[in-house]
């Protein structure tokens, strides 16, 4: 579940991206306070997995992008 933390300012926004082997494989739409976005992505056995969190709010407004209850699920094992 992607979203912004409860201590994010009103009118704030942020994005969350995921990378696999240094290539972007997912970029969220702009996240705003109170928004929850469920995400499931199939991964083709990447060597490295990365998370990019960005505050896209106007100046002097802060957001804190967060990931709630993340999990890697293995299949076909």
* 52, 23 contact by CB (below 8 A): no
Which residues lie below 8 Å from residue 77, measured CB to CB, with a gap of 6+?
Answer: none
Rounded distance, CA 16 to CA 56, Å?
A: 10
pLDDT value at residue 7: 92
State the 10-residue block means of pLDDT for the chain, 77 residues long. 95 96 96 95 88 95 95 76
pLDDT value at residue 76: 65
């Amino acid at each position: 579940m992607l979203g912004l933390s409860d201590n994010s300012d009103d009118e704030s926004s942020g994005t969350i991206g995921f990378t696999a082997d240094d290539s972007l494989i997912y970029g969220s739409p702009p996240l705003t306070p109170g928004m929850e976005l469920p995400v499931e992505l199939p991964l083709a056995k990447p060597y490295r997995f990365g998370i990019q969190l960005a505050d896209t709010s106007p100046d002097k407004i802060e957001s804190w992008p967060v990931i709630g209850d993340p999990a890697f699920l293995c299949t076909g094992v």
